[in-house]
Amino acid sequence: MNKIKVGVVGTGFIGPAHIEALRRLPNVEVAALCEVTAELAKEKADGLGIARSYTFDELLKQDDIQAIHICTPNFLHYSQSKAALLAGKHVICEKPLAKDLHEAEELVKLAAETGLVNAVHFNLRYYPLARQMKSMREKGELGEIYSFIGSYLQDWLFYQTDYNWRLEPDKSGDSRAIADIGSHLMDILEYITGLKTVAVMADFNTVHKTRKKPLKAVETYSGKMLQPEDYADVPITTEDHANVLLRFDNGNKGVITVSQVSAGRKNRMSLEISGSKKTFSWCSESPNEMWIGNRDKANEILMRDPSLVNEDVRSTITFPGGHNEGFPDTSKQMFKEVYAAIAAGKQPENPTFPTFADGYRELLICEKILESNKAQAWVTI
């Protein structure tokens, strides 16, 4: 088998997650790793068992590398994705696709002109029961959608001493909680329901208006604490928590809450979609079961099981029922579809995976939510 050789750029939390998922695909080889310096790239590559290490410019010159995964901080996504496309590489980029709509629009256009495969890592679509809800809705089992209630709650920025580059607008943009996790929620909302969000009303809260930035390196999600003298006070301008009212193109309404300061909620995305026939409810911290609500008969629990889900959902499931699958599997299932396209050599006409165009859509929604919070008013999308 001639394996597709891949280069991964960035080794924070998400880069190794991409690598682990890619290594589970039989037609893919993670051949190279890239970091900001040659020395760091070599250190990280050795630790992850990757033979070749480069700086970014060097990586793009490697003719045998067909695809690039951009897993760097947000402010680098645009320039690195653009450079990779211009170098003739297929690109899988972390979200957000860019820092603003102008950059994202340029990337969508460039990707279309090149014909190269382009994807944005909205991997949470690939929980099998998320696709099952979409499939059931498409078959008319949900009925007309009355409302969407969603939340995405985390606690990794709960303490004033919690700090990360995502808190710095020059690296992550003017929105944090909405851009970071709200983007996943808004993407999966439209993916499952088929609705378009046409207006938003947002209200943000910055719980910790000043945070203590470590003067020593602390890894994301590590939970490590330093001494008082090891911190510097930094003013915070991005949101820890946000509530957003939504209006949809079918005339009905929804609401979402996102928070990175909810103690005990480690990474909990929760969805409740109410229709004229049923209600679907699902939570990412219990991803292998889905609640189906009925008015005139007993409610139901559907377990993730390839023999029980719809036929068009089975490709997202690897193991039999009762053998739980979770977050690491979502990236594998997404990359399986992306690399089928890469093996074919071009972007499909109707991709099943999230593309740069989807990245643009979520950036547009997030910018309108940010605009709404500033105006404290409804904003049309």
Catalytic annotation, residues: 95
Query: Treating both helix axes as pointing N-terminal to C-terminal, what angle do 128-138 and 183-193 enclose, rounded to 10 degrees?
Result: 40
Q: Which residues contact 18 (CB under 8 A, 6 or more apart)?
A: 8, 69, 71, 92, 121, 331, 335
Strands 145-153 and 268-275 turn out to be: antiparallel
Q: How far is CA 207 from the centre of its chain?
A: 24
CA distance 201 to 286: 30
Sheet holding 289-293, edge to edge: 300-303, 289-293, 279-283, 268-275, 145-153, 253-259, 241-248, 197-205, 379-380
Tell me the H-state helices in the chain: 14-22, 38-48, 56-60, 77-86, 101-114, 128-138, 169-172, 177, 183-193, 327-344, 356-375
CA distance 207 to 40: 35
